[in-house]
C-alpha cells in the first residue's frame, strides 16, 4: 500500500491517547484485509483534509463508499477487493469520525455532509461518481441524490436512516455498553453469537470486524463530540441536542423529501434490520419512490453489505453496471 501523505494523529475526539491507539491498531488490521493494490490519498474540503483509500484503475468509473457513524474506510475491505475490478474505488474516512481524516465534524442539521461530499468530488475532479453508503452513510448518499443530483450517477443505500419511524433497542444497547468490557461487548454485537437473531432486536452484525469496531468505538471514541451534542462549558452531554439528533436520524420522516428522489437508486436491507421491518418498509417505499430497486438480504442485519459481502456485492455490481454502454 502506498501512502501519499504525512498523517498527524488528532486525539481530540477520543477519550484517551491509549484509546486512539487501540482503535487505530484495529483500523490497520482491518486495512490489511484489503488484498488488491491500493493507496491512501487526501481530498481538501472545507472541513479539513479527508482521508481516502483508493483502488482500481484511473480510467474506470469512480465509486464513493461512505460508512456510518463511527465507521471508517477499511470496513469496506470486501467491497474494495470486489469493486476495484470494475470501478475506481474511493473508500472514505468521514471527517470528525474514527480514521485519518480531520477531526472537524460536519453538522447533521444542515447541508454540511452533502457540501463535504461535493468538496471531495471537486477536489479530486470526479466525473459523476456512483455513491454507496451504509446506515447514516446511506442517508448521506440519499441526501446527495436529492440535493445535488447533477454531481453523481447511481445511488446505493444500505439500511439508511430517515425512511420511517425507527425502532431501537435502547435499553439493551445501553445496558450492554455500560456493563461489558470491549471483548465481551464485541461478542454481544456479533449477530452469530445470538441463537435466534430477529429483526428489530439487536444491532448485531455478522461481520466480526464491524462488531469489534463498534465495541472499540463505544469504549474509546467521543461520539457525543462527533455528533455535536457535547457541551464544552458544562463538560456534559446536552440532552436537548442529543434528543434532536436521535429525532433527526430515527424519528423524522419527510415524505416530500423521499418523493423528490429521482436518481437511479438501489436500497438494501438485511432480513434482521434493526431500524425497520424490511418487508413493510419496502412496500411503503415502493409507493413513495417507484423507481427504487429494493433488495432484502438473508442472514444479514443493519449493515448487510458488510454482513454478507459476496451476495450484496453481486447485487450492487449488477445494478451499477446495468444500462452501461459497451
CA–CA separation, 286 vs 292, rounded Å? 7
List Cβ neighbours of 40 (8 Å cut-off, separation of 6 or more). 1, 2, 3, 4, 5, 51, 52, 53, 54, 100
DSSP 23-53: HHHHHHHHHTT--S-EEEEEEEETTEEEEEE
In this model, does residue 69 exceed pLDDT 90?
Answer: no
What is the domain partition of the chain in residue ranges? 2-321
Q: Could you give phi then psi for residue 64, rounded to 5 degrees?
A: -95, 135
- The whole-number average pLDDT for the span 135-139 is 93
For residues 37 and 55, the answer to whether their CB atoms sit within 8 Å is: yes
Contacts of 48 (CB under 8 A, 6+ apart): 95, 101, 102, 103, 104
Segment 30-37 mean pLDDT = 97
Q: What is the pLDDT of residues 95-119, one digit of tens each?
A: 999 999 999 999 888 899 999 999 9
Please tell me the predicted confidence (pLDDT) of residue 311: 96
pLDDT score recorded for residue 13: 86
pLDDT on residue 32: 97
Residue 318 has which C-alpha cell?
449488477
| Number of C-beta neighbours around residue 93 at 10 A | 24
% residues pLDDT > 90 (the chain): 53
Which residues touch 68 (CB under 8 Å, ≥6 apart)? 133, 134, 135, 136, 137, 138, 303
Count the neighbouring beta carbons within 10 Å of the beta carbon of residue 6: 5
**Position of cell 419511524?**
165
Question: How many residues make up the chain in this entry?
Answer: 326
Q: Mean pLDDT over all residues of the chain?
A: 85
pLDDT tens digits for 147-193?
A: 999 999 999 999 998 888 777 655 555 555 555 565 655 555 555 54
The Cβ-side half-sphere exposure at 119, using a 13 Å CA radius, reads 20
Of 10, 5, 65, which is closest to residue 221 (Cα–Cα)? 10
Q: What is the pLDDT of residues 37-58, one digit of tens each?
A: 999 999 999 999 999 999 999 9
The arithmetic mean of pLDDT across residues 18-25, rounded, is 92
CATH of 2-321, one of 3.40.50.1820, 3.40.720.10, 3.30.479.30, 1.10.1040.10: 3.40.50.1820
Euclidean distance between CA atoms 305 and 17, whole angstroms: 31
CB 167 within 8 A of CB 183: no
Amino acid at each position: 500500500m502506498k501512502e501519499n501523505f504525512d498523517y498527524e494523529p488528532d486525539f481530540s475526539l477520543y477519550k484517551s491517547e491509549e484509546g486512539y491507539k487501540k482503535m487505530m491498531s484495529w483500523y490497520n488490521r482491518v486495512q490489511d484485509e484489503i488484498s488488491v493494490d491500493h493507496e491512501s490519498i487526501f481530498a481538501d474540503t472545507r472541513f479539513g483534509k479527508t482521508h481516502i483509500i483508493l483502488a482500481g484503475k484511473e480510467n474506470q468509473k469512480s465509486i464513493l463508499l461512505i460508512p456510518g457513524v463511527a465507521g471508517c474506510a477499511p470496513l469496506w475491505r470486501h467491497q474494495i477487493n470486489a469493486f476495484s475490478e470494475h470501478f475506481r474505488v474511493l473508500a472514505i474516512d468521514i471527517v470528525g469520525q474514527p480514521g485519518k481524516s480531520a477531526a472537524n465534524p460536519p453538522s447533521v442539521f444542515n447541508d454540511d455532509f452533502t457540501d463535504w461530499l461535493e468538496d471531495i468530488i471537486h477536489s479530486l475532479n470526479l466525473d459523476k461518481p456512483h455513491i454507496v453508503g451504509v446506515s447514516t452513510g446511506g442517508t448521506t448518499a440519499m441526501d446527495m441524490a436529492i440535493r445535488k443530483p447533477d454531481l453523481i450517477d447511481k445511488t446505493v443505500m444500505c439500511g439508511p436512516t430517515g425512511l420511517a419511524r425507527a425502532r431501537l433497542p435502547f435499553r439493551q444497547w445501553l445496558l450492554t455498553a455500560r456493563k461489558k468490557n470491549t471483548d465481551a461487548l464485541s461478542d454481544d454485537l456479533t449477530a452469530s453469537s445470538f441463537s435466534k437473531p430477529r429483526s428489530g432486536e439487536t444491532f448485531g452484525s455478522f461481520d466480526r470486524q464491524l462488531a469489534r469496531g463498534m465495541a472499540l468505538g463505544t469504549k474509546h471514541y467521543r461520539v457525543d463530540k462527533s455528533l455535536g451534542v457535547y457541551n464544552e462549558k458544562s463538560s456534559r452531554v446536552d440532552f436537548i441536542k442529543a434528543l434532536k439528533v436521535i429525532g433527526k436520524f430515527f424519528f423524522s420522516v419527510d415524505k416530500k423529501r423521499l418523493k423528490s428522489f429521482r436518481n437511479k437508486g438501489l436500497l438494501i436491507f438485511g432480513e434482521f434490520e434493526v431500524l425497520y421491518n424490511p418487508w413493510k418498509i419496502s412496500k411503503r417505499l415502493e409507493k413513495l419512490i417507484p423507481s427504487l430497486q429494493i433488495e432484502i438480504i438473508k442472514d444479514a442485519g443493519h449493515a448487510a453489505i458488510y454482513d454478507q459481502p459476496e451476495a450484496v456485492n453481486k447485487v450492487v455490481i449488477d445494478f451499477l453496471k446495468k444500462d452501461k454502454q459497451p
